[in-house]
Amino acid sequence: PEAPHEYYEIKTHKSQPNTDYLPDGRVNAAFVTLVRNEDLHDMLLSIERLENRFNKRYHYPWVFLNDKEFTEEFKTAIRAAVSGGAEFGFVEPKYWSIPSHIDQDKMHASWRDMEKNNIIYGGSESYRHMCRFESGFFYRHPLVSQYEYYWRVEPSVDFYCDIDFDPFVYMKENEKLYAFTISLHEYAETVTTLWDVTKAFVAEHPTAIHPNNTLEFISDDNGQSYNMCHFWSNFEIASVNFWTSEPYASYFEYLDRMGGFFYERWGDAPVHSIAAALFMDRKHLHFFNEIGYYHPGITHCPIEDEFRSKCSCRPSDTIDFNGYSCNKHWYEVMNIPFPQNYELYLK
Ligand code: GDP
Ligand code: MN
């Protein structure tokens, strides 16, 4: 399909973030949260927990984005809760609407089918805008593009371990570009054609594939099919620049033109993960085992004994060695030894 003019407009934001360490040794980085006004209380919970475990010592700033204007109540309560300052940004309608090239009859028929099949968020329009925004637009927002690294945070998440080091500094010092705490298998019905579309993109852009990629993590048959493994993107510490530059910029545009954010329900998690696995040198990927993390439904708790004095989570609650997780596969692919006693946590 032909690219409608919206894309060229969207593409013009070019960021020049400061990539030096700050005078105090921190990194030019921020927390980034997409959130609704009505999620204020759930957001305050996440802030309180992350401030307590980490940010009260580091005072990184926090960027909040919303497709509606933030209320004064929201901004006042948030400003009082964060220790590093807060910025509030508006997501313009052109980043939160159905593009003109989408066939809306086809789209609505598919939403009805997905709803009938009880696919989570199958009939939701706003969820699709969210996934598309988190895939292709958040990093172009001027409040975000000024930073070298970001840490994505959602409402109602929890952090179980004292983070007594600076993960942003860790990322920068170790040339990491994408870090996660939880990996899972995606619902196949939400990404029916994502892999075929990805293969078509790669056929047109063969140099996009990094020679030292992590294809094995996302495919069990050398690229024929997608094994549904993805990093759970509600937690993400990553480089802004990876998304703004090639090949990701072209990849997102290609995906968007194919329409799967609307005809299917492509999540930003598989999109980010496929890109990170294919386009990055694997040395830039990182698993933050020491960051105990909870997002409603799922826990990552580091099981090693050394963490018991730092973390309040129960090792038996960890998803890591359960069949839903892709962590065992991650350890294998990256040649990382399994933690001692992991067999106790196979579920
Ligand atoms: P789930 O984790 O996949 O169940 O999805 P969530 O409901 O947690 O949404 C993911 C992120 O997008 C969270 O940070 C939400 O606060 C945010 N979000 C989801 N839908 C909307 C929306 O319609 N407007 C805004 N402003 N934020 C949204
Ligand atoms: Mn969520």
pLDDT per position as a tens digit, 114-146: 999 999 999 999 999 999 999 999 999 999 999
DSSP 304: S
Choose the residue to mutate in 130, 134, 150, 266 for probing ligand 1, maximizing ligand atoms within 8 Å of C-beta. Answer: 130
Q: Identify whether the C-beta of residue 133 lies closer than 8 Å to the C-beta of residue 91.
A: yes
Please confirm, yes or no, whether 69 is among the known catalytic residues: no
Encode pLDDT of 43-82 as tens digits: 999 999 999 999 999 999 999 999 999 999 999 999 999 9
CB contact at 8 A, 269 and 231: yes
Q: For residue 4, what are its two tokens?
A: 């409608």
How far CA 343 is from CA of 156, 322, 346, in Å, comes to 30, 10, 5
Give the per-residue pLDDT at 15. 58
User: What residue type is 244 in one-letter code?
Assistant: T
The closest-lying atom of ligand 1 relative to the alpha carbon of residue 127 is 20
Residue partners of 135: CB distance under 8 A and separation at least 6? 252, 255, 261, 266, 268, 271, 272
Q: Which of 236, 246, 253, 343 is catalytic?
A: 236
Residue 280 dihedral angles phi and psi, to the nearest 5° = -100, 150
Q: How far apart are CA 308 and CA 282, in angstroms?
A: 30
Distance 153 CA to ligand 2 centre (A): 9
Find the 129 Cα to ligand 1 centroid distance in Å: 9
CA pseudo-torsion sign 39, 180, 195, 133: positive
8 A C-beta contact, residue 137 and residue 252: no
Nearest alpha-carbon partner for 28 in 164, 168, 140, 148 = 148
> Could you tell me how far CA 2 lies from the centroid of its own chain?
28
Q: Which long-range contacts (CB under 8 A, 24 or more apart) does 193-198 make?
A: 193/258, 193/260, 193/264, 194/226, 194/255, 194/260, 194/264, 194/266, 194/270, 194/271, 194/274, 195/225, 195/226, 195/274, 197/254, 197/255, 197/258, 197/260, 198/226, 198/251, 198/255, 198/274, 198/278
**Residues within 5 Å of ion ligand 2, judged at the Cβ atom:** 154, 234
Between β-strands 149-152 and 236-239, what pairing exists: parallel, antiparallel or unpaired? antiparallel
Which of 44, 75, 154, 261 maximizes ligand 1 atoms within 8 Å of its Cβ, making it the mutation to test the pocket?
Answer: 154
Task: Determine whether the shortest distance from the Cβ of 130 to ligand 1 is under 6 A.
Answer: yes
How far is ligand 1, taken at its centre, from the CA of residue 34, in Å? 7
Instruction: Say what angle helices 248-258 and 268-279 make with each other, to 10 degrees.
Output: 140
Q: With a cut of 0.90, is the ipTM above it?
A: yes
Cβ-Cβ contacts under 8 Å for 13 (sequence gap 6 or more): 140, 142, 145, 244
**Class of domain 6-287 as given by CATH:** alpha beta
Place of tokens 């997102």: 252
Q: Please report the atom of ligand 1 found closest to the CA of residue 156.
A: 8
Separation between Cα atoms, residue 70 and residue 64, nearest integer Å: 9
Give CA separation, 143 vs 90, 117, 274, in Å. 10, 39, 26
Asked if residue 154 has its Cβ within 6 Å of ligand 1, the reply is yes
Task: Output the CA 127–ligand 1 centroid distance in Å.
Answer: 7
Q: What is the pLDDT of residues 235-273, one digit of tens each?
A: 999 999 999 999 999 999 999 999 999 999 999 999 999
Beta carbon of 126 within 6 Å of any ligand 1 atom: yes
How far, in Å, is the centroid of ligand 1 from the Cα of 245? 25
- For ligand 1, atom 2, the nearest C-alpha belongs to 234
Question: Ligand 1 within 6 A of 234 CB?
Answer: yes
Question: Cα separation of 174 and 170, whole Å?
Answer: 6
Q: pTM of the prediction?
A: 0.96
- The Cα–Cα gap between 227 and 31 comes to 30
Quickly state the pLDDT bin for 16 (edges 50, 70, 90): confident
The per-residue pLDDT for 293 is: 98
- The domain spans of the chain are 6-287
For 163-219, the pLDDT digits (tens) are 999 999 999 999 999 999 999 999 999 999 999 999 999 999 999 999 999 999 999
Return the ligand number nearest the Cα of 269. Answer: 1
The Cα–Cα gap between 98 and 184 comes to: 28
Tell me which residue of 176, 166, 344, 201 sits closest to 274, measured CA to CA.
201
Tokens found for residue 25: 């040794």
